[in-house]
Structure 1
Amino acid sequence: MAAIETTNLTRRFGEVTALAGLTLAVEEGALFGLLGPNGSGKTTTIELLTGQRAPTDGSATVVGHDPVTEPMAVREAIGILPEREDPPSFLTPREYLTFVGEVREVDDIDGRIERWAERLEFDGVLDALATGLSEGERQRVMLAAAFLHDPDLVFIDEPLVNLDPIMQEQVKAVLSDYCERGNTLFLSTHYVDVAAELCTHVGIVEDGALVADCDPREMSEDELLSYFIAEVGGEPPEVRA
């Protein structure tokens, strides 16, 4: 069964087409990666699927609901981590996550916050103002917020940004474990190595259109990189430090 389905999903901003007739299906339990260079339509896709924007044309269903006509039903069932989203600077991580938990009507909010803080190693700054946190600590707080209510589906835009190599490995384990429990993850990235290592299925986008799809488990990272370059052209994507 598909957790996400789109048909001819299109979004134009004036004369600019940010997404051009995207048709795809993401099965339940998949760790799906939308891979493409910057400006290829990845973030716009997430905005349309999560009800933040309405499409110019086409349609989508997310966990059985239409993001346009049933946006609240979609948002209740999903978690979202936009790229470079930070907790409010005037709150501590504990205060922010408590607010998220109350809005999401989470049981045992305090316990869940403690567990996620320990798992993502920001328990030492739980009561520090967010304005004083490092970029990596803020990213980890936002990851916890996306998963706090144990949603069926999570959207993440560039999940490893601002994280050091050790924490990247821990976050990868969190994402893989989440899908192994039957949940679905929609991951947007322009890093081929992230898609190759984490994803069970990859869709490649360029200029707002889906140009290819593949199973990275059947390819080496170098093969996926070559495939990516062949489909989108130009220079290889950047390599993470």
Structure 2
Amino acid sequence: MAAIEVDGLRKEYGDVAALDGLDLTVEAGELYGLLGPNGSGKTTTIEILTGQRTPTAGEARVLGTDPVTEPIEVRRSIGILPEREDPPSFLTPREYLEFVGDVRSIPDIDDRIAEWADVLDFRGILDTMSSDLSEGERQRVMLAQVFIHEPDLAFIDEPLVNLDPLMQSEVKATLREYCADGNTLFLSTHFVEVAEQLCTEVGIIADGRLRTQRDPATMDDGLLSAYETEVAREVSPQ
């Protein structure tokens, strides 16, 4: 069964179409990357798939559920990390993750917090006020909240933002392991190298439409060349 199915998705903001008939399919177990320039529709796609926005037209299924008619059910089943999302400044990472545990009814939350603090190397700041954390430390805490309830599907907007090279390597390994266990990851990025190094399937989006969707390893001229070609069509005469 496909983890995500999108058919003819359109989202208009006044006279502007952020999505213009988007079609895509993500199979269970894939590490899927939606690659495109700023303003291409990546964030809007994630917001619709996670029940945060209503499309103007089209349909979507997330783990077999419609995120428009049943947004709460979808959000219970998935992990989400929007771009530039931070833990509340007035809580410590431990307090924030305990709150996540309460909201998601995680019975062994203390053990999960300890596990993810080790995986993402923030055990030493668990009791530091989030307002005093670096951007990279806050990103690691937010990545922990994505996976702490062991979802079958996770959505992450720019997963490696603010992370140093060593932590980027650790996070990449963690994301690969998550999918190797049979889970599905949908990430968005405008960095070609992130999609090429990390993803098993990449969709290139430009001007609100999916231009191509392929395994980057099968692209004869490489993902960068395909990206340059497809994005160039955005500004070419139709």
TM-score with structure 2 length normalisation? 0.96
SS in 2 for 1:91: coil
2:166 alignment partner in structure 1? 166
1:237 alignment partner in structure 2? none
Q: Which residues of 2 match residues 160-239 of structure 1 at below 5 A?
A: 160-219=160-219, 223-233=222-232
Q: CA deviation at 1:233?
A: 1.4
Q: CA deviation at 1:213?
A: 1.3
Q: Using the alignment, how far apart are the partners of 1:190 and 1:66 within structure 2?
A: 27
Q: CA deviation at 1:9?
A: 0.5
Number of equivalenced pairs: 233
Q: Using the alignment, how far apart are the partners of 1:183 and 1:174 within structure 2?
A: 12
- Match of 1:68, as an amino acid? V
SS in 2 for 1:224: helix
Q: Using the alignment, how far apart are the partners of 1:196 and 1:218 within structure 2?
A: 11
1:157 alignment partner in structure 2? 157
The CA deviation string for residues 10-37 of structure 1, in whole angstroms up to 9 with x for no partner, is: 1001111101111111000000100001
Q: Using the alignment, how far apart are the partners of 1:230 and 1:16 within structure 2?
A: 24
Q: CA deviation at 1:124?
A: 0.5
SS in 1 for 2:88: coil
- Match of 2:64, as an amino acid? G
1:238 alignment partner in structure 2? none
Q: Which residues of 2 match residues 58-77 of structure 1 at below 5 A?
A: 58-77=58-77
Q: Using the alignment, how far apart are the partners of 2:217 and 2:199 within structure 1?
A: 8
SS in 2 for 1:156: strand
Q: Which residues of 2 match residues 39-58 of structure 1 at below 5 A?
A: 39-58=39-58
Q: Using the alignment, how far apart are the partners of 1:196 and 1:177 within structure 2?
A: 17
Q: CA deviation at 1:109?
A: 0.3
Q: Using the alignment, how far apart are the partners of 2:2 and 2:210 within structure 1?
A: 18
- Match of 2:229, as an amino acid? A
Matched, 1:26 2:31: no
* Identical-pair percentage: 66
- Match of 1:231, as an amino acid? E
SS in 1 for 2:217: helix
Residue ranges of structure 1 left out of the alignment (5+ in a row): 235-241
The CA deviation string for residues 152-172 of structure 1, in whole angstroms up to 9 with x for no partner, is: 000000000000000000000
Q: CA deviation at 1:107?
A: 2.2
- Match of 2:54, as an amino acid? A
Q: Using the alignment, how far apart are the partners of 2:73 and 2:217 within structure 1?
A: 33
The CA deviation string for residues 117-141 of structure 1, in whole angstroms up to 9 with x for no partner, is: 1110111000000000000000000
Q: Which runs of 4+ in 1 moved over 4 A?
A: none
TM-score with structure 1 length normalisation? 0.95
- Match of 1:205, as an amino acid? I
- Match of 1:223, as an amino acid? G
Q: Using the alignment, how far apart are the partners of 1:131 and 1:182 within structure 2?
A: 36
The CA deviation string for residues 155-202 of structure 1, in whole angstroms up to 9 with x for no partner, is: 000000000000000000010000000000001001111111111111
Q: Which residues of 2 match residues 123-134 of structure 1 at below 5 A?
A: 123-134=123-134
Q: Using the alignment, how far apart are the partners of 1:162 and 1:74 within structure 2?
A: 28
Q: CA deviation at 1:219?
A: 3.7
- Match of 1:157, as an amino acid? D
- Match of 1:122, as an amino acid? F
What's the Cα RMSD here?
A: 1.0
1:84 alignment partner in structure 2? 84
Q: Using the alignment, how far apart are the partners of 2:90 and 2:49 within structure 1?
A: 30
2:236 alignment partner in structure 1? none
Q: CA deviation at 1:75?
A: 0.5
1:119 alignment partner in structure 2? 119
- Match of 2:33, as an amino acid? G
